[in-house]
Amino acid sequence: MHKTIAITGAGVISAIGVGKESTLQALLHGTSGIEHIKYLHTRHQEFPVGEVKLSNEELKQRLGCEHESLIARTGLLARVALGEALQEAQLHREQLSEVCLISGTTVGGMDLRELYHAEEKMGIDRLHAQIASYNCGQCTELIAQPFGNFAQLSTISTACSAAANAIITGANMIQCGMTDIVVAGGAECLSKFHFNGFNTLMLLDREPCRPFDRTRVGLNLGEGAAYLVLESLDSAKRRGVTPLCVLSGYGNKCDAYHQTASSPNGEGAYLAMTEALTSAGLRPQDIGYVNAHGTGTPNNDQSESQALRRVFGTTLPPISSTKSFTGHTTSASGAIEAVFCMMVLDHQFLPVNLNWREADEDCITPVTAGEQPHSPIVHVLSNAFGFGGNDSSLIFSKCEQ
């Protein structure tokens, strides 16, 4: 029997805010968080980034964990978002033994690993046992540690679709009857590891990114975290909590076209979106807004535009990329942008595609300043596409539907 997947809590942190309220205000007022590098230690100061406006020390003070030395920035960001999600869902420590946590990350604790790189080359090996603990799975364990004993911890690393795939995995677990409640999302901090990697691939822009614009040349990297509490509707009723919205559909496909590039016709993206629509029992015209993956790279935006046109035809819904606000938060992006979509449903607005100026015939025309919904938004679609063509789409719907 198909179960309704309710979202009963959410938490978020990114370059545009700490928590849902400040994040909402930034989206409503078109305030970008992309600025010059402040916290990441790199010589490449020419690239703007979407950094969370708190140092590690400030994050630790906020969380009350000043004594912890092994918690990476990814984990600190995650704890902020996870704490907000659990609080909103009214989930307490004693209840977590029946709750699963699924977290997406690819960088994990790489920022701490980098701190020891120079010392390691000098022959200092006494830190190797600690360094070995900075893998993605250990990062999830450190994220969960202060909250209590979750029934199960899982980590997903599918690059930029990781958090969306964590949400899909959680929904499937509930559908299969494995559990009633899953907290799913993702976290990623900026690190030299992936910053230099994207730079080597020549995917970074020296200016604020402009997804779908004719003059786009690349992305701005960002960081952050977000988690959603997924729950069967029956469980939410038993606990007496009011759903914020429902996860009505989702799809994941892998076209394996290339290690980093998207296919010219957007095959993986097209299949993911159509699978999400089918699982939700919706038609393309039912979608009131699309949060595009929209990285700002020439390849991604052209490919995603082709996929969107294949799905929606000539009558496209309002579409925008919020990476012009936050930068590309890689493994966390699917969850961060899912929270943005929940805000769209709740507050009935269209996030602006910042910095867009010039139309590209190969791309969709995104939402620009001042646009308002022409009709009530009931269903929204959120895209998250990863390297290797691992593409995921999520559909969120208002509860009354």
Candidates 100, 136, 194, 328; catalytic one: 328
**Cα dihedral value 244, 184, 248, 281, nearest 10:** 180
CB atoms inside a 10 Å sphere around CB 283: 9
Number of H helices, E strands in the chain: 14, 11
Q: What residues have CB less than 8 Å from 53, skipping those under 6 apart?
A: 15, 18, 33
**Residue for token pair 């029992």:** 281
379 catalytic? Reply is: no
Q: Using an 8 Å Cβ cutoff, are 182 and 100 in contact?
A: yes
Query: Which of 369, 371, 376, 384 is CA-nearest to residue 401?
Result: 376
- Token couple for 128: 């190797």
The secondary structure of 328-340, three-state, reads ECHHHHHHHHHHH
Q: State the distance between the two ends of the chain, measured CA to CA, in whole angstroms.
A: 18
Q: Give the type of residue at 49.
A: V
CA dist 204 and 222 (Å) reads 11
Nearest 5 degrees, angle CA 254-CA 221-CA 132? Answer: 75
Q: What residues have CB less than 8 Å from 376, skipping those under 6 apart?
A: 288, 348
- Token couple for 241: 């909590």
DSSP string for 128-186: HHHHGGGSHHHHHHHHHGGG---SEEEEE--GGGHHHHHHHHHHHHHHTTS-SEEEEEE
341 catalytic? Reply is: no
Question: What are the b/e assignments for 28-47, b being 16+ CB within 10 Å?
Answer: eeeebbbeebebbeeeeeeb
Candidates 209, 293, 341, 363; catalytic one: 293
Candidates 100, 136, 139, 160; catalytic one: 160
**Active-site positions?**
160, 293, 328
